[in-house]
Amino acid sequence: MKRRHRMDLSHDVPKQVAEWMDEAALTLAALPAHGLRPSGARGFWPDIVPDEEDLEWTRDSDILPPRPTPDDVSRMDLVFSWLTFLGERDANRELRLVVQLYMRVHPISGKHLLSWEKIGRKLGIGRNTAQRRYLTACCLIAEKIRTGQIPVDRLDQNAQFSTS
User: Residue 57: is its pLDDT beyond 60?
Assistant: no
Predicted TM-score (pTM) of the model is 0.73
User: Residue 163: is its pLDDT beyond 50?
Assistant: no
pLDDT at site 133: 94
Flag the least confident range among 5-14, 91-100, 107-116, 147-156: 147-156
pLDDT confidence band for 4 (50 / 70 / 90):
low
Percentage above 70 pLDDT, the chain: 70
3-state secondary structure of 38: coil
Find which of 7-21, 38-52, 79-93, 109-123 is predicted with most confidence, using mean pLDDT. Answer: 109-123
Q: Are residues 145 and 89 in contact, defined by beta-carbon separation less than 8 angstroms?
A: no
Q: Which residues contact 153 (CB under 8 A, 6 or more apart)?
A: 5, 6, 7, 78
Query: What average pLDDT does range 140-150 have in this prediction?
Result: 87
Name the average pLDDT for the chain: 78
